[in-house]
Amino acid sequence: MLNIMPKSSYAEQINKAQVMLSGLKGNAAQIARRGLDEAFLAKFDADRDEAVALNDAQEKLKADLVSKTAQLDSKLLELDKQVSEAQKIVKIDFDKSRWREFGIEAKR
């Protein structure tokens, strides 16, 4: 049977690693006998710190993307209004046979 669970978020994965790391550090003497020595814990801690920094950077990029998308949407609305206004003028001042040079498809 397939386990169809949604993937944990990055923040959840980082938090899970932090909880594990805290538990390991609190029981360092006992786990050292099983090969999880100080070097392992130091690398685990450094990797978790790097994951936090990367996650923070990604969240900032997501926020920047939302902002830029809103700016683009606003600019495209402005551009659509200009195109619409220009099309009206072209249709008034030019014969249908010339509309194509302005990107307007002649309709019945």
Whether 16 shows a pLDDT value over 70: the answer reads yes
60-98 confidence digits (pLDDT tens): 999 999 999 999 999 999 999 999 999 999 999 999 999
- Percent above pLDDT 70 for the chain: 94
Rounded Cα–Cα distance for residues 98 and 96 (Å): 5
Longest CA span, the chain: 89
Would you say how long the chain is, in residues? 108
At 92 the pLDDT is 95
Instruction: Let me know: does 90 contact 102? Beta carbons within 8 Å.
Output: yes
Q: List, in order, residues 6 or more apart from 94 with CB less than 8 Å away.
A: 102
At 7 the pLDDT is 81
At 6 the pLDDT is 66
